[in-house]
């Protein structure tokens, strides 16, 4: 199964960043040609059952599928060098939190954070709340679907920093603008959103087989969850058109190495920081 954030299969990797994705090989191009599109009935069914499929995913896997993102604190310090994580009480939101694989390792390194989290899977939020209770952490939580229009902020305040880590890719591309507009309600003026997600020409995109493509760069996995693969300029324009300034953007290139299987897999992710201006 293709890991939903590309981390479950890693044993080690070599990485660098650039402003360009990777060029596809002849073999890659042949694999893309063999991909076929799902029928309209299935497309509609997947959209209608998007929340249900993620609820089933978390009911089945609990908090055992994804690894905690222990890279997160150092990455955020590099991406947001102007934020004083050491002494300031920063209001932080993990948007599309899942079971909190970003939030929990982050607060262990940056204990001054004031924590907020939401996901559109009620099962995921329950698992996060249970772990927070066990760790005696205060986290304001909610069940929210970013793809719905005019989503209001149920929390006690807007935040200084929000992250969208492998979240937008699970949303239909026609609703990416709606999701970005909704995020304005959660982030205060001059606050930041850090996005990391799948990039165009990622190995996982090439791996999809027949009857997996929903539309251009948008695919369905075997469990019914979906994944979109972003062009960097496209991602930037989505947020710029919704009142954000792009502070930084890059493709992250990772050569994921599985020593047991003797595999070297080229992964491509997009990463960007957006600052709210309107």
Question: In this predicted structure, what is the pLDDT of residue 64?
Answer: 53
Q: Is residue 17 part of a domain?
A: no
Q: Is residue 262 part of a domain?
A: no
Question: In this predicted structure, what is the pLDDT of residue 59?
Answer: 66
What is the number of domains present in the chain?
1
What 3-state class would DSSP assign to 218? strand
Q: Is residue 226 part of a domain?
A: yes
Residue 41 has pLDDT above 60, yes or no: yes
Q: Is residue 18 part of a domain?
A: no
Residue 239 has pLDDT above 50, yes or no: yes
Q: Which residue in this structure is represented by tokens 């991909």?
A: 35
Question: In this predicted structure, what is the pLDDT of residue 89?
Answer: 87
Question: In this predicted structure, what is the pLDDT of residue 4?
Answer: 38
Q: Is residue 263 part of a domain?
A: no
Give the side-chain half-sphere CA count within 13 A for 125.
18
Per-residue pLDDT band at 55 (split at 50, 70, 90) = confident
Assign 3-class secondary structure to 87-138. Answer: CCCCEEEEECCCCCCCHHHHHHHCCCCEEEEEECCHHHHHHHHHHHHHHCCC
Q: Is residue 19 part of a domain?
A: no
Q: What's the rounded Cα separation, in Å, for the pair 201 and 268? A: 7
Provide φ and ψ at 236, rounded to 5°.
-60, -45
Which range is least confidently modeled, 128-132, 215-219, 256-260?
A: 256-260
> pLDDT tens, 115-155?
999 999 888 899 999 999 999 999 999 999 999 999 999 99
Question: In this predicted structure, what is the pLDDT of residue 258?
Answer: 74
User: pTM for this one?
Assistant: 0.89
Residue 21 has pLDDT above 80, yes or no: yes
Residue 12 has pLDDT above 70, yes or no: no
**What is the sign of the dihedral through the CA atoms of 219, 223, 225 and 227?**
negative
Say what percent of the chain tops pLDDT 70.
Answer: 91
Residue 156 has pLDDT above 90, yes or no: yes
Domain with 241 in it: 25-251+268-276
When comparing pLDDT for 133 and 59, which is higher? 133
Question: In this predicted structure, what is the pLDDT of residue 10?
Answer: 41
Computed over every residue of the chain, the mean pLDDT equals: 89
Per-residue pLDDT band at 240 (split at 50, 70, 90) = very high
Q: Is residue 3 part of a domain?
A: no
Question: In this predicted structure, what is the pLDDT of residue 194?
Answer: 97
Give the highest mean pLDDT range of 170-174, 222-226, 258-262.
170-174
DSSP state of 20: S
Q: Is residue 134 part of a domain?
A: yes
- How much is the average pLDDT of 243-251? 97
What 3-state class would DSSP assign to 264? strand
Question: In this predicted structure, what is the pLDDT of residue 62?
Answer: 54
> pLDDT tens, 63-118?
555 566 777 888 999 999 999 988 778 999 999 998 998 999 999 999 999 999 99
Looking at residue 234, which CATH number applies to its domain? Answer: 3.40.50.150
């Amino acid at each position: 199964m293709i890991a939903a954030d590309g981390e479950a299969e890693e044993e080690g990797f070599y990485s660098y960043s650039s402003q360009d994705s990777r060029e596809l090989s002849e073999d890659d191009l042949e694999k893309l040609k063999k991909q076929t599109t799902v029928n309209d009935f299935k497309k509609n069914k997947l959209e209608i059952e998007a929340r249900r499929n993620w609820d089933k995913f978390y009911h089945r896997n609990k908090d055992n599928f994804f690894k905690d993102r222990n890279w997160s604190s150092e990455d955020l310090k590099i991406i947001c060098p102007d934020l004083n994580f050491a002494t300031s009480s920063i209001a932080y939101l993990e948007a599309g939190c899942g079971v909190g694989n970003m939030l929990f390792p982050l607060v262990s390194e940056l204990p001054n954070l004031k924590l907020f989290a939401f996901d559109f899977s009620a099962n995921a939020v329950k698992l996060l709340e249970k772990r927070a209770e066990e760790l005696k952490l205060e986290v304001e939580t909610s069940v929210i679907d970013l793809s719905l229009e005019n989503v209001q902020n149920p929390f006690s305040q807007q935040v200084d920093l929000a992250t969208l880590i492998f979240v937008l890719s699970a949303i239909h591309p026609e609703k990416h603008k709606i999701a970005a507009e909704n995020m304005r309600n959660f982030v205060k003026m001059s606050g930041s959103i850090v996005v990391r997600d799948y990039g165009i020409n990622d190995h996982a995109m090439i791996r999809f087989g027949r009857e997996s493509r929903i539309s251009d760069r948008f695919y369905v996995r075997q469990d019914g969850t979906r994944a979109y693969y972003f062009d960097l300029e496209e991602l930037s324009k989505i947020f710029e058109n919704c009142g954000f300034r792009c502070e930084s953007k890059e493709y992250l290139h990772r050569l994921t190495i599985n020593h047991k299987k003797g595999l070297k897999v080229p992964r491509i992710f997009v990463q960007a920081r957006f600052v709210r201006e309107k």
